[in-house]
Structure 1
């Protein structure tokens, strides 16, 4: 088909289905082309990068270093707002702003820790599945080797061993010696 013929076919198609409409009135979608991306009002983010960040934060929140620094910060905050000159204090007793900051930190820390735990659970599940498959392969290999060893033991009963051959050769040697003696005794008479 030439380029002109293809162009004529496209023109005929456009006349039959103007603006890509179908019998149902919906626009015709082309299956040979990807859909245009929809615009979203929500911000987009890289889930993997966010997950790694949440794991790092959760790992830090679970350290003694975090506890020490948080304790130092709270003690400094309270001491400053108790003993500093009144015009330099930003959070007077009962330290409402400090309570707000700690609540905000906790409200972000809890979901980040849960996200990190979920990612760890997913990794553990994959590792468990891989371990299970490896164990199945090991069991199958062990069963195969057990059958092979059993077959070798059965066949070994039919194989001449070194000790058996040695005893047979000794018996033959005795028999040959006896024949020589018998022949030697028979000549001497």
Structure 2
């Protein structure tokens, strides 16, 4: 008779298989996301239409149906109980969804404020850089200024050469200058 196959133990070089636990599947944000979905649905026209249809059909059934088939009679206490139960669950879910939205808005406002502060700082930096460039350019000779100075020097040299040439003619000197 053959012995049953032995279970092979994993070695130290092999990671152990982890079992599925509830702690691994727990997501603390899941209830918040569900509450936002519920609050979004409760605030929709579809919910209002369905709720109106259910209440109307409840009232019509309990007023027009035979008495032995009516679960709730005229003051409709059971309907009031159901609506109160629905409201008692809806109100905290809506408040939770509003709190989560407020938290998201606060984070968004903080990011917007930080972005605005960075943009203002960048704008200030660029304004200072532009002012320093303008000051530096004020001290640097521009092309037009250099051209006008060179033109004045050429005119001044031409006038001196003309004066030297006129003086040589008066003295009668034929030597080249």
Q: What TM bracket, shorter-length normalisation? A: 0.7 to 0.9
Partner of 1:67: 48
In structure 1, stretches of 5+ residues that fail to align are 1-43
Tell me, yes or no, if structure 1 residue 102 matches structure 2 residue 95: no
Partner of 1:79: 60
Tell me, yes or no, if structure 1 residue 159 matches structure 2 residue 140: yes
Report the more deviating stretch, 131-140 or 94-103. 131-140
Flag the structure with more relative contact order, 1 or 2, with Cα contacts below 8 A and sequence separation at least 6.
Answer: 2
Tell me, yes or no, if structure 1 residue 168 matches structure 2 residue 138: no
Deviations 1:71-99 (A, max 9, x none): 12111111111112223222221111111
| Match among 60, 82, 97 for residue 116 of structure 1 | 97
Cα distance in structure 2, aligned partners of 1:134 and 1:164 = 44
Q: Rg larger in 1 or in 2?
A: 2
What is the TM-score of this pair, normalised by structure 2? 0.73
What is the TM-score of this pair, normalised by structure 1? 0.69
Cα distance in structure 2, aligned partners of 1:173 and 1:75 = 105
Deviations 1:9-52 (A, max 9, x none): xxxxxxxxxxxxxxxxxxxxxxxxxxxxxxxxxxx963211100
How big is the alpha-carbon RMSD for the aligned residues of Structure 1 and Structure 2? 2.0
Tell me, yes or no, if structure 1 residue 137 matches structure 2 residue 139: no
Q: How far 1:186 sits from its partner (Å)?
A: 4.1
| Match among 22, 35, 56 for residue 54 of structure 1 | 35
Partner of 1:41: none
Deviations 1:93-126 (A, max 9, x none): 1111111110011000000011111111111222
SS at match of 2:139: coil
In structure 2, stretches of 5+ residues that fail to align are 1-24, 171-177
Partner of 2:21: none
